Amino acid sequence: MLLHVRLSGWACWCLFSGVFSVFSLQQRLTVNLNGKWRLSNSNGSLLLPAQVPGCVHSALQQQGYITDPYFRFNDVSYRWIALDNWTYTTTFTLSAELSVKQKVLLVFDGVDTVGSVSLNGIAVGKTNNMFCRHDFSVKDLLKDGENVLQVGLLSPILYASEQRKAHTSYVVPPECPPGVQKGECHVNFIRKEQSSFSWDWGPSFPTMGLWKGVRLEAFDILQLVQVSSVPLYNDAFSQWRVQIELLIDAVQTARGQLTLSIPELDSEQTFQTHFNPGKTKSNFTILINTASQVKLWWPNGHGEQPFYRLTIRGFQDEFLIFSTESKVYFRTVELIQEPVVGSPGLSFYFRINGKPIFLKGSNWIPVHSFQDQVTPDVLKNLLQSAVDANMNALRVWGGGVYEQDLFYEICDELGIMVWQDFMFACAMYPTETDFIQTVREEVVQQVQRLKSHPSIIIWSGNNENEAALATDWFDIPASQRPKYIRDYVMLYVDNIKKLVQEEDQSRPFLVSSPTNGAESEQEGWVAENPYDPHYGDVHFYSYILDCWDWRTFPRTRFASEYGFQSWPSFSTLQPVSIKEDWSYGSNFTSHRQHHEDGNQQMILQTALHFHLPNATDPLKRFTDTLYITQVMQAQCVKTQTEFYRRSRSEIIEGKGHTMGALYWQLNDIWQAPSWSSIEFGGKWKMLHYFAQSFFAAVFPVAFEEDDTLVIYAISDLSRDLKLRAVVNVFSWTELDPVCTLNSSMLLVPGGSAVAVFKQPVASLLAGCGNCTRLTCLLTFQLEDDSSQQGPTNYHFLCSPKDAQGLRRPNITVKVEEKKTCFSVTLHSDSVAPFVWLDVGNIPGRFSSNGFLMVSRNRTVDFNAWRPTSVAELTASLTITSLRDIY
Secondary structure class of 754 (helix, strand, coil):
strand
804 is a contact residue toward ligand NAG (CB under 6 A): no
- 342 Cβ neighbours under 8 A, 6+ residues apart: 651, 654
C-alpha distances (whole Å) from 582 to each of 405, 878, 884 are: 39, 18, 19
Shortest spacing between CB 284 and ligand NAG, in angstroms: 8
Residue 854: what residue type?
V
Shortest spacing between CB 124 and ligand NAG, in angstroms: 18
Torsion on CA atoms 59, 63, 66, 67, rounded to nearest 10: 100
Binding mask 332-371 for ligand NAG (x = CB under 6 A): ----------------------------------------
C-alpha distances (whole Å) from 831 to each of 196, 801, 877 are: 46, 14, 20
Binding mask 708-727 for ligand NAG (x = CB under 6 A): ------------------x-
Options 168, 169, 614, 820; binder of ligand NAG; rule CB under 6 A: 614
Shortest spacing between CB 260 and ligand NAG, in angstroms: 14
587 is a contact residue toward ligand NAG (CB under 6 A): yes
Shortest spacing between CB 683 and ligand NAG, in angstroms: 27
Shortest spacing between CB 45 and ligand NAG, in angstroms: 4
DSSP characters over 144-172: SSEEEEEEEE--HHHHHHHHHHH--SS--
Pick between residue 477 and residue 585 the one whose CB is nearest to ligand NAG. Answer: 585
Residue 272: what residue type?
Q
Handedness of CA 382, 387, 389, 393 (dihedral sign): positive
Shortest spacing between CB 879 and ligand NAG, in angstroms: 12
Shortest spacing between CB 44 and ligand NAG, in angstroms: 8
Residue 643: what residue type?
F
Ramachandran category for residue 295: left, alpha or beta (phi over 0 → left; psi -120 to 50 → alpha): beta
Options 168, 770, 786, 820; binder of ligand NAG; rule CB under 6 A: 770
Handedness of CA 174, 205, 403, 364 (dihedral sign): negative
Options 519, 783, 838, 884; binder of ligand NAG; rule CB under 6 A: 783
Residues in contact with ligand NAG, counted by CB under 6 A, come to a total of 29
Pick between residue 43 and residue 238 the one whose CB is nearest to ligand NAG. Answer: 43
Binding mask 826-845 for ligand NAG (x = CB under 6 A): -x------------------
Pick between residue 293 and residue 787 the one whose CB is nearest to ligand NAG. Answer: 787
71 is a contact residue toward ligand NAG (CB under 6 A): no
Pick between residue 522 and residue 788 the one whose CB is nearest to ligand NAG. Answer: 788
Pick between residue 393 and residue 456 the one whose CB is nearest to ligand NAG. Answer: 456
- 364 Cβ neighbours under 8 A, 6+ residues apart: 394, 395, 396, 397, 400, 403, 665, 666, 667
Residue 329 C-beta-side C-alpha neighbours within 13 Å:
26
* Pairing mode of beta strands 339-340, 343-346: antiparallel
Cis status of the peptide bond prior to 376, with omega within 30 of 0: no
Shortest spacing between CB 452 and ligand NAG, in angstroms: 12
Q: Rounded distance, CA 262 to CA 287, Å?
A: 10
- Active-site hit among 464, 466, 503, 783: 464
Options 253, 600, 810, 863; binder of ligand NAG; rule CB under 6 A: 810
What are the phi and psi torsion angles at 297 (to 5°)? Answer: -85, 130
Cβ atoms 427, 464 nearer than 8 A:
no
DSSP characters over 318-381: TEEEEEEEEEE-B--EEEE--EETTEEEE--EEEETTEEE-EEEEEE--S-SSGGG--HHHHHH
Binding to ligand NAG in span 170-209, by CB under 6 A: none
Binding to ligand NAG in span 265-324, by CB under 6 A: 283
Residue 138: what residue type?
V
621 is a contact residue toward ligand NAG (CB under 6 A): no
Shortest spacing between CB 753 and ligand NAG, in angstroms: 22
Shortest spacing between CB 783 and ligand NAG, in angstroms: 6
Neighbours of 495 (CB within 10 A): 18
Pick between residue 137 and residue 285 the one whose CB is nearest to ligand NAG. Answer: 285
Q: Rounded distance, CA 54 to CA 256, Å?
A: 40
> From the centroid of its chain, how far is CA 622?
30
Options 293, 479, 616, 787; binder of ligand NAG; rule CB under 6 A: 616
Strand partners, 280: 248
Binding to ligand NAG in span 393-452, by CB under 6 A: none
165 is a contact residue toward ligand NAG (CB under 6 A): no
**Contact region for ligand NAG (CB under 6 A) — 466-474, 566-574, 611-619, 710-718?**
611-619
Shortest spacing between CB 580 and ligand NAG, in angstroms: 6
- 437 Cβ neighbours under 8 A, 6+ residues apart: none
Cβ atoms 110, 210 nearer than 8 A:
yes
Shortest spacing between CB 333 and ligand NAG, in angstroms: 16
Pick between residue 242 and residue 427 the one whose CB is nearest to ligand NAG. Answer: 242
Pick between residue 116 and residue 876 the one whose CB is nearest to ligand NAG. Answer: 116
Shortest spacing between CB 507 and ligand NAG, in angstroms: 12
- Active-site hit among 561, 642, 679, 783: 561
Alpha-carbon Rg for the chain, nearest whole angstrom, is 29
Options 788, 812, 863, 869; binder of ligand NAG; rule CB under 6 A: 812
Pick between residue 600 and residue 740 the one whose CB is nearest to ligand NAG. Answer: 740
Q: Rounded distance, CA 875 to CA 162, Å?
A: 56
Cβ atoms 803, 774 nearer than 8 A:
yes
Handedness of CA 444, 448, 454, 456 (dihedral sign): negative
Pick between residue 41 and residue 438 the one whose CB is nearest to ligand NAG. Answer: 41
Pick between residue 225 and residue 691 the one whose CB is nearest to ligand NAG. Answer: 225
Helices 376-388 and 405-414 meet at what angle, rounded to 10? 30
Binding to ligand NAG in span 566-585, by CB under 6 A: 580
Q: Rounded distance, CA 343 to CA 341, Å?
A: 6
Active site residue 734: no
Sheet holding 349-352, edge to edge: 333-336, 349-352, 355-357
Pick between residue 433 and residue 770 the one whose CB is nearest to ligand NAG. Answer: 770
Secondary structure class of 83 (helix, strand, coil):
helix
154 is a contact residue toward ligand NAG (CB under 6 A): yes
- 233 Cβ neighbours under 8 A, 6+ residues apart: 239, 240, 330, 332
Options 77, 437, 471, 742; binder of ligand NAG; rule CB under 6 A: 742
Neighbours of 91 (CB within 10 A): 14
Cis status of the peptide bond prior to 174, with omega within 30 of 0: yes
Active site residue 464: yes
Binding mask 75-104 for ligand NAG (x = CB under 6 A): -----x---xx-------------------
Binding to ligand NAG in span 34-53, by CB under 6 A: 41-43, 45
Pick between residue 679 and residue 783 the one whose CB is nearest to ligand NAG. Answer: 783
* Pairing mode of beta strands 844-846, 857-864: antiparallel
787 is a contact residue toward ligand NAG (CB under 6 A): no
67 is a contact residue toward ligand NAG (CB under 6 A): no
32 is a contact residue toward ligand NAG (CB under 6 A): no
Kindly list the residues in this chain that would bind ligand NAG in the complex (CB under 6 A): 41-43, 45, 80, 84-85, 154-155, 243, 245, 283, 580, 587, 611, 614, 616, 726, 740, 742, 769-770, 783, 810, 812, 827, 856-857, 886
Enzyme catalytic residues: 464, 561
